[in-house]
Structure 1
């Protein structure tokens, strides 16, 4: 490693430069073309065929063992951290146990996609076609879909309730206990498992079931140890071949470390960060669930860094280089999704989140030297992954806030901010211990959980399309496109005489859709629990070992989940237009509005009507109580109803076992817009819905403070699954030091006085985005914030690009 000295806490904006090694490594990663990789699929099929008579926990452990023992491994010439997910960087493995139907159906269209393009060789296609027969009626998708009750299946088939990712992927949306791994090693988990096994009474069938989990846990721990040893041996072999004395020493150090971690505790910063990376990697080889996050990286790496720094074993520059290497390694992980799922996750995101800042368990400011080094590394890597979240609290220093703004100016869409002042009290009110609530981290996008103690999907369950639901309610419970009767008929909109009548129908209907979403979610969870346990992930999450249960069986300390509600601003603006223009001022009759929606505003005189909807009704995002309170009231039936229903782990061990709301809709606003006809806010059919809890495009006309005030009126204390707010600014705006200071003050006002939950910034101008559309080769590493994550702009579909271009550009 290069002995470059960096003082990250002294000069704002002085982030240093990539070392030559990391510059070359970054270039190699950017040049890597994303291919579909069949290797894991082939190895998985072999393992299932060999071990299909085993208990499911042991079967899944043997699958991971077979993959780790036989998959291709390599060490790139410029990396200091080792571990690869596929045969080449940025290649995406196929996980056949979750779904194969779409893989086979789309083999010849991966390269023809409008965005998120993947390449695939003829040989890879042939390998996948050869194993496909084994997986017929034998995948999560097959089992999950077959288990949907008929009525609920109708909501799923029509796309009103989206859950495609829940039956074509593993869970993810979790951060394991990395701190314990690096401090005590996997050997500590192994010892605890053996102690638990000795106490089992196998005449008790429940304890016999625990035996299988424990046996599986020992298998995966040994498999990870062996996997690390493969890299140690490879590093030794590579060291013999190199003619560079510097690289020879680096490879021997890599070999030494890999012989040790993650089985043994880490003693140095280098060992700790390599241990974290290898565990993070294997979790995503075990399962293709995304949003596997690092947790509070600055908190658990800081002691190792400070110790090495004091002993003269490392410099700030060396630590930054390793952190930058970690960021680049994070981007090497890739995931190929079905096109239907891709529309909900545009940009091939993995949502791998690093959290920094916040407070210690006793309420003190937790920002440390590692927090600054991570900011530095994120800027140097200049990549869309990993996500970076800063936990805001009142005691966060102006110095650190200004440094965060300097990172925002780099145009990475990072860091996002989550607010301790709202999240911690919300957690405590739900029964989470105070010391754990103070230790929360971001998971994936904006959702939050306690790392190492929380189950899957603190958000990320099913998606409910609010604007489309409104259209169904207005149509007497019948889907206007398919003609299917989905909900009870509470009267057709053309026959309604008051807003109260419509709202009553909305309230009752939304509660029924909420109930159906619970049925769908429970079905997905049941299929996953019965057939696809993640053994390593469970071992590393408390207290699965103590309970002898996997995460899905109720092994974790906490288990709260949330779905995602899409199109909040469209619903708000639609209700406001109906209330004012139809029922109060009577400028538009119910029949006229319904006909205009049916005609997509293409009939005679309907464009004038659409302009009235756009311009003569109040719009959410402008601190207008008239419309803001409408969406607060319209959202509340969902919040109240979802709280009634327990998840499948309720009463089986974890604290919680309940559900709450969440607005982190990722890029589902584009995909669900495709299935939504014209809406009463003046939106055309098939166009994107509003994103997260952000206002509709160009409807927030009174500046960022007004947006903050509108968003803050939502019941954020109850929307624990995340209140996602995207804002967009011109780079020119933040070139002024005064404007940077204003942004810091604006953020403090939003979080301290208004109790906002979250905000993140796109700092890019429209001109640059349009040019990138026209000349993608000139902008290959242009990064934008899509939703709760960032992505390379040129890799997105044109429709998603247009959605980002049209977002309101705020001033300060």
Structure 2
């Protein structure tokens, strides 16, 4: 096996080597590109909808993708070895009008004025979007999804207590297809399967007739992808004719030869395989703007091509690394503009495109291979917030590979994140996932996990429930204190309660009702998507949609488990601890005094006195059983209740069709904090909530081991949607080999002994972050881990920046 040491250079400033001059130029060009809003896809989509309105929905959607791929602007930059672009220029963000146009038109004049995630837009683009807007009035996913919400449930959505804006303003995403099949068998293998299934149909059976439309649609998109690749092949040939540089001319001719072949035909070389993966990945995101479309276990499916080419002498490690850095740079060119309301849940314009490496083979052996190291090199060299990089940890992961991972962490990318095989694989198998598939899982987006090519949409990423705001509603007798709306049954007002058990009982019953409402909202979103917006290419590439003749939303996937996201876990824990300790156990505060202080946001000397007392309560993240057990107990009703409800695909083919918990709150902690009044943990109104399952800022004072112990007490076996833990350290901490080894042993202990699910590290000092706020032009490359993803720090809103700055800086 190629070791990490052999791949690294002797340059201490660049331990993983530097980008080739070609890729360095490409990187500079991409980062210099201003993110504009692009109307081209919106125009082409409108044309296709107008031309094919009479078609069955599967065929309509197939023709939409085909029309876009046939007519969109394409280009091949002189720096790239890989062809494929999403929009008219790198980093431009297409508009997807079929999902939503209301917010687009409403915010046209605001894109450049945003406090973060700024997009530029020309007056010509504004005019183009306004011209097509009338066609989409009452004709989008947002319109249909919102109309599908039952009236009582709609109120929870309107008030922001249950968030699902991303589910009705964009496609699903949160998926990885089986790239191994694509590069080893080619799209023609899928085409052959479709034709064989189509030939079996008995069209007098209405179910078979429905399958016919899906199969015909699949054939349309397979041809469209093949033709799209050939458009690039022809462009490369045209550019080669006028190219005076022999090396560049040969590069273009090689590119053309590859694109005449893949992804329709199987790949035979490493470069062909990488090109096939990139083009497929790209088109999936042209088809739908759902984010978290991920690459799966890249080291596993690309390594055979790498080792074969290496042995044949047609590829070197340096050349392979350059192709991988090219893939990383291409990944960053994909962009997505969201409504401002949705942006607050996804600060930093993330697409969550995840690469997974490491892990185990199905026989339990270490799956790390030479390409695993090469990918670490490429990620370090590219130094970008995308793609996400996740390492699958297991007990047999070598010290050498762990050292290589920590070396990349030291680069300050917030990557790699670690997911734990020892908890995830058994959790999957307990839910009915076959052993071979469970051992082949990958990260999808942030911390969520699924089996590439066999899992339906949104293994995590359904609705968001605001736990702290829910607590305030419970304390207020079921009335939202922010809006005054009656939302939940009245189990007694907090000021009338005489024991903690009364509050705990009210919380249990109320959270179950909140959970039920979230299911209704999620089902409404899924119903609108299924009826009107099937993703034909993604379904074709997901098992066993072809065998069943169904799209993913109709039950085509082998597995279909989903989870929502629960926000503010640490705030809930700390709030309950303060209430129990100071109100009911020690009686230092009356229920009326606390409630009054909360309603007044701790105003005045009396309010501040109450707040200071609350801040002295036991805090989650310090291995204190008192508070840790309170959050375990408070989380249990959700975990129990959500498991009762099936998703819309249950009984229609997939294994599962069930729901489970998940803590990957993305940056929703900031957005949902805006609508949350002061909470009993001492948090002021409108300020951010804690993110993921991480402790509240500055409250985890007993070091990283204590944090790990607190998090490990959560019921991680049931929180299969992901237990997201962010940790922050100063770069100085990891300057010595001894401390790097300490970090490795800390991670091993967390995963091996404490059965942790996930951890990731921000390696950046508070001083650097403050300097970047003051002088952003000097810190363009500064990357931070926001939640389950990384972002360029200077592109974030000041509020999100402040939230990251406030996180506890751990020592070893």
TM-score band (shorter)? over 0.9
Partners of 2:633 and 2:485 in 1: CA distance: 28
Could you list the per-position Cα deviations for residues 15-36 of structure 1 after superposition, in whole angstroms to 9, with x for gaps in the alignment? 1111010000000000000000
Matched, 1:7 2:6: yes
The equivalent of 2:685 in structure 1 is: 685
2:379 is matched with: 378
Give the distance between the partners of 2:436 and 2:228, measured in 1 at CA. 35
List per-residue Cα deviations over 1:597-628 (Å, max 9, x = no partner). Answer: 0000013411011000002x100000000000
Residues 290-369 of structure 1: matches in 2 within 5 Å? Answer: 290-369=291-370
Aligned to 1:719: 719
Q: Which residue of 1 aligns with 2:528?
A: 527
Match of 1:511 in 2: 512
List per-residue Cα deviations over 1:508-565 (Å, max 9, x = no partner). 0000000000000000000000000000000000000000000000000000000000
* Alpha-carbon displacement from aligned partner over 1:307-365 (angstroms, at most 9, x marks no partner): 10010010000000000000000000000000000000000000000000000111110
- The answer (yes or no) to whether the contact 2:361–2:439 under 8 Å persists in 1 is yes
The aligned length equals 807
2:9–2:16 Cα contact (<8 Å) kept: no
* Structure 1 counterpart of 2:657: 657
Residue 788 of structure 1 corresponds to which residue in structure 2? 788
TM-score in terms of structure 1 length:
0.99
Deviation at 1:193, TM superposition (A): 0.3
Q: Distance in 2 between matches of 1:139 and 1:92?
A: 19
Q: What is the distance in 1 between the residues matched to 2:182 and 2:399? A: 34
**Structure 1 residue 9 displacement after superposition:** 7.3
Structure-to-structure mapping, 1:578-727, within 5 angstroms = 578-615=579-616, 617-727=617-727
Contact 1:596 1:603 in 2 (8 A): no
Query: CA–CA distance in 1 between the matches of 2:8 and 2:434?
Result: 33
Distance 1:178 1:538 in 2: 14
Aligned CA distance change for structure 1 residues 6 and 728 (closer, same or farther; 3 Å): closer
Structure 1 residues 167-182: aligned runs within 5 Å: 167-182=168-183
Who is 2:52 aligned against? 51
Q: Cα distance, 1:407 vs. partner?
A: 0.2
Q: Distance in 1 between matches of 2:782 and 2:228?
A: 35
CA contact (8 A) 1:170 1:287 kept: yes
Contact 1:6/1:316, CA 8 A, preserved across alignment: no
Alignment partner of 1:197 is 2:193: no
Q: Distance in 2 between matches of 1:463 and 1:624?
A: 27
The question of 1:123 aligning with 2:124 is answered yes
DSSP-derived class of the 1:592 partner? helix
User: Is the CA contact 2:20–2:322 (under 8 Å) kept in the aligned structure 1?
Assistant: yes
Provide the C-alpha distance between the structure 2 equivalents of 1:584 and 1:303, rounded to a whole number of angstroms.
Answer: 63
- In the TM superposition, what is the alpha-carbon distance from 1:14 to its structure 2 partner? 3.0
Instruction: Name the structure 2 match of 1:806.
Output: 806
CA–CA distance in 1 between the matches of 2:121 and 2:655? 45
Task: Verify the 8 A CA contact 2:560 2:656 in the aligned structure 1.
Answer: yes
For 2:449 and 2:317, locate their aligned partners in 1 and report how far apart those are by CA, in whole Å: 30
Tell me the CA shift for residue 10 of structure 1. Answer: 9.0
1: CA distance, partners of 2:16 / 2:5? 8
Please give the residue correspondences for 1:408-487 in structure 2 after superposition, counting only pairs within 5 Å.
Answer: 408-487=409-488
Asked if structure 2 preserves the Cα contact closer than 8 Å seen for 1:297 and 1:354, the reply is yes
- Secondary structure class of the residue paired with 1:354: strand
Cα distance in 2 for partners of 1:541, 1:781 equals: 36
Q: Distance in 1 between matches of 2:63 and 2:9?
A: 51
Is the contact made by 1:650 and 1:657 (CA closer than 8 Å) also made in structure 2?
A: yes
Distance 1:244 1:582 in 2: 78
Is 2:91 the partner of 1:102? no
CA contact (8 A) 2:8 2:16 kept: no
Q: Is the partner of 1:87 in helix, strand or coil?
A: coil
Q: Corresponding residue for 2:760?
A: 760
Q: Once the 2 structures are TM-superposed, how far is the Cα of residue 246 of structure 1 from its aligned partner?
A: 1.0
- 1:735 paired with 2:735, answer yes
Distance 2:636 2:742 in 1: 34
1:265 lines up with 2:266 in the alignment? yes
* 1:149-188 matched pairs, under 5 angstroms: 149-188=150-189
Q: How many Å separate the matches in 1 of 2:453 and 2:501?
A: 46
1:202 aligned counterpart, secondary structure = coil
SS at match of 1:215: helix
Contact 2:661/2:720 (CA < 8 Å) preserved in 1? yes
TM-score by length of 2: 0.99
| Alpha-carbon separation, structure 1, partners of 2:486 and 2:244 | 72
**What is the distance in 2 between the residues matched to 1:502 and 1:797?**
37
1:404 aligned to 2:405?
Answer: yes
Contact 1:6 1:16 in 2 (8 A): no
Supply the distance in 2 between the matched residues of 1:803 and 1:669 (Cα, whole angstroms). 9
Q: Distance in 2 between matches of 1:32 and 1:413?
A: 23
Deviation, structure 1 residue 733 = 0.7
Pairwise CA distance, 1:6: 9.7
In 2: Cα distance, 1:737 partner to 1:804 partner: 27
**What do the CA deviations read for 1:744-782 (whole angstroms, capped 9, x no partner)?**
000000000000000000000000000100100000110
Q: Distance in 1 between matches of 2:517 and 2:324?
A: 44
Q: Secondary structure at the match of 1:641?
A: helix
SS at match of 2:46: helix
C-alpha distance in 2, partners of 1:9/1:432? 39
CA contact (8 A) 2:82 2:326 kept: yes
How far apart, CA to CA, are the structure 1 residues paired with 2:362 and 2:67?
Answer: 40
Residues 98 and 169, structure 1, Cα contact 8 Å, conserved in 2: yes
Give the deviation of 1:7 after TM superposition.
3.5
How far 1:677 moved relative to its partner?
0.1
Look up the SS of the partner of 1:560 in the other structure.
strand
CA–CA separation in structure 1 for the residues paired with 2:9 and 2:189:
40
Residues in 2 aligned to 1:467 and 1:110: alpha-carbon distance in whole angstroms: 31
User: 1:597, 1:105 → 2: CA distance?
Assistant: 35
In 2, Cα distance between equivalents of 1:482 and 1:681: 21
Describe the superposition over 1:242-261 as per-residue Cα deviations: whole angstroms up to 9, x where unpaired.
22111101000000000000
**Quick check: 1:569 aligned with 2:570?**
yes
- Secondary structure of the residue that 1:233 maps to in structure 2? helix
For 1:487, what is the secondary structure of its paired residue? coil
Q: In the alignment, is the contact (CA less than 8 A) between 1:6 and 1:317 conserved in 2?
A: no
Segments of 5+ residues of structure 2 without an aligned counterpart are none
Query: 1:35-94: CA deviations, max 9, x gaps?
Result: 000000000000000000000000000000000000000001100001000000000000
1:220 — aligned with what?
A: 221
Partners of 1:241 and 1:580 in 2: how far apart? Answer: 78
CA gap 1:16/1:772 in 2 versus in 1, 3 angstroms:
same
Q: CA deviation at 1:297?
A: 0.2
Tell me, in whole angstroms, the C-alpha distance in 2 between the residues paired with 1:503 and 1:18.
56
Distance (whole Å) between structure 1 residues aligned to residue 808 and residue 365 of structure 2: 37
Q: Is the partner of 2:25 in helix, strand or coil?
A: helix
| Cα shift at 1:481 | 1.3
The DSSP-based 3-state class of the residue aligned with 2:186 is helix
User: Contact 2:515–2:638 (CA<8 Å) still a contact in 1?
Assistant: yes
Is 1:81 equivalent to 2:82 in the alignment?
yes
